[in-house]
Amino acid sequence: MPENTEFNIDQDKNYEMNEDKASLETDNLVNEENSEISNNVPLDNAGQEITGEAPKLDPLDSAKAEIAELKDKYLRLYADFENFRRRTAKEKLEMISGASADTVKLILPIVDDFERAKVSFESSTEIDALKEGVDLIYTKLYKALESKGLKAMESKGADFDAEIHESIAQFPAPSEDLKGKVIDEIEKGYYLNDKVIRYAKVIVGA
């Protein structure tokens, strides 16, 4: 009986040792697997584990990028405005130059008439014919200027208006109804397209 008891005890010890060894081998395998898994986790440049979330932008870098974009838009807008300003100024000069050229072309035939009249003054002795020629040239000139928007003021007998008249003297009015009105016109005033280009110089009744 004692021998069988010792055998059973030795058998139990061997079983426990084998069980502990198997458990230790299992733990080693689990640790190796965990180590392999941890070694396969992707890391960033700082050695931090990458979790898949989008990296957070630095507010300073974001502000710098926004400032650079706004600066680029401002420079483009300024360049467009400068081009527009130069183009408009050029078109305005061309318009003024074209208008001046048209007016000169309109007056050139009248200049020719004056030159012919001067020749007639030297050779002709008929005063009435010369006066008629001058009247025709004046009418032609005035109509040409009227076609460009010129209009003479009708000041004599009208109420004095400081907006269009320039009073150079005051004389006693010949009648009560002419007090405060223009009684004589020294220099005619003119409109160009309804805008005063020369004030009428007048004498006002007092």
Query: Is 32 inside any structural domain?
Result: no
Element (H, E) at 17: helix 2-39
Q: How far apart are CA 187 and CA 168, in angstroms?
A: 10
Please name the residues in contact with 160: beta carbons below 8 A apart, sequence gap of 6 or more: 167, 180, 181, 182, 202, 204
Cα 55 to chain centroid, rounded: 42
Over residues 150-177, mean pLDDT: 89
| Least confident window among 1-10, 29-38, 88-97, 188-197 | 1-10
pLDDT in tens, 2-45: 444 444 444 444 445 555 555 555 555 545 544 544 445 455 55
144 and 158 belong to one structural domain: no
- The stretch 117-134 carries a mean pLDDT of 84
CATH number at 178 reads: 2.30.22.10
In a domain, 5, yes or no: no
Q: What is the CATH number of the domain that holds 88?
A: 3.90.20.20
Phi, psi of 174 (to 5 degrees): -65, -25
Single residue among 148, 164, 192 that ends a domain in this structure = 148
Beta partners for residue 124, in sequence order: none
Per the DSSP assignment, residues forming a β-bridge with 152 are 190
Q: 115: helix, coil or strand?
A: helix
Residue 120 has pLDDT above 50, yes or no: yes
Is residue 165 pLDDT above 90, yes or no? yes
- Using a cut of 0.85, tell me whether the model's pTM lies above it: no
Per the structure, the complete domain to which residue 134 belongs is given by 60-148
Among the candidates 148, 165, 187, a domain finishes at 148
Position 121 scores a pLDDT of 83
Count of structural domains within the chain: 2
